[in-house]
Amino acid sequence: MKDAQHIRNIAIIAHVDHGKTTMVDGLLKQSNTFRDNQAEMNQELIMDSGDQEHERGITITAKQTSIYHDDYKINIIDTPGHADFSGEVERTLNMADGVLLIVDAQEGPMPQTKFVLSKALELGLKPVVVINKIDKPSRRIDEVLDEVADLFLELAISDDQLHYPVYYAIGRDGKAWKEMPDNPSEHADLSPIFDSIVSDIPAPTVDESGAFQLLVTSLQYDSFLGKYAIGRVTRGMVKKGLAVTLMKRDDVRINGRIDKVFGYRGLNREEIEQAGAGDIVALTGIADAHIGDTIADKENPEALPTIDIEAPTLSMYLGPNTSPLKGKEGEFNTSRQIGDRLNRELETNVSLRVVENGIGFTVSGRGELHLSVLIETMRREGYEFEVGRPQVVTTEIDGVVQEPVEELLIEVGPEFVGAVSQELGARRAEMRGQEQTSSGTACMTYIIPTRALIGLRNLLLTATKGTVIMNSLPHGYQPMSGKLPQTRNGVLISFEAGTTTPYALQAAEARGELYVGPGTTVYPGMIIGLNRRSEDMEINVCKAKHLTNMRSSSSDGVVQLTPYTDLSLEQCIDFIEDDELLEVTPKSLRLRKRYLDPNERKRASKK
pLDDT single digits (tens) 469-497? 888 888 888 888 878 877 788 999 999 99
| 379 vs 308, higher pLDDT | 379
Domain final residue pick, 429, 453, 479: 479
Confidence of residue 552 (pLDDT cuts 50, 70, 90): low
Q: 409-431 pLDDT, tens per residue? A: 898 888 999 989 988 888 888 99
Domain count, the chain: 4
190 and 223 inside one domain: no
45 and 185 inside one domain: yes
Q: Is residue 345 part of a domain?
A: no
171 and 238 inside one domain: no
pLDDT at residue 497, rounded to an integer: 93
Q: Is residue 387 part of a domain?
A: no
Confidence of residue 561 (pLDDT cuts 50, 70, 90): confident
Identify the CATH number of the domain in which residue 509 sits: 2.40.50.250
195 and 220 inside one domain: no
Q: 161-211 pLDDT, tens per residue? A: 888 999 999 988 889 999 988 888 888 889 999 999 999 998 888 877 888
Tell me the C-alpha distance between 571 and 553, whole Å.
41
37 and 144 inside one domain: yes
pLDDT at residue 43, rounded to an integer: 46
Q: Is residue 316 part of a domain?
A: no
Q: What is the pTM of this model?
A: 0.83
| Portion of the chain with pLDDT greater than 90, in percent | 31
Residue 405, domain extent: 396-479
Tell me the C-alpha distance between 69 and 71, whole Å.
6
188 and 225 inside one domain: no
pLDDT at residue 460, rounded to an integer: 87
pLDDT at residue 107, rounded to an integer: 86
29 and 129 inside one domain: yes
**What's the mean per-residue pLDDT of the chain?**
86
Question: What torsion do the CA atoms of 555, 557, 563, 566 make, to the nearest 10 degrees?
Answer: 70
Q: Is residue 516 part of a domain?
A: yes
173 and 237 inside one domain: no
Q: Considering only 133-137, 358-362, 554-558, which range has the smallest mean pLDDT?
A: 554-558
Q: Is residue 343 part of a domain?
A: no
Work out the average pLDDT over 96-124. 88
Q: Are 405 and 324 in contact (CB under 8 A)?
A: no
Confidence of residue 555 (pLDDT cuts 50, 70, 90): low
| Portion of the chain with pLDDT greater than 70, in percent | 94
Q: Is residue 129 part of a domain?
A: yes
Q: 24-48 pLDDT, tens per residue? A: 888 888 887 654 444 444 445 555 5
pLDDT at residue 500, rounded to an integer: 93
Q: 470: which strand partners?
A: 410
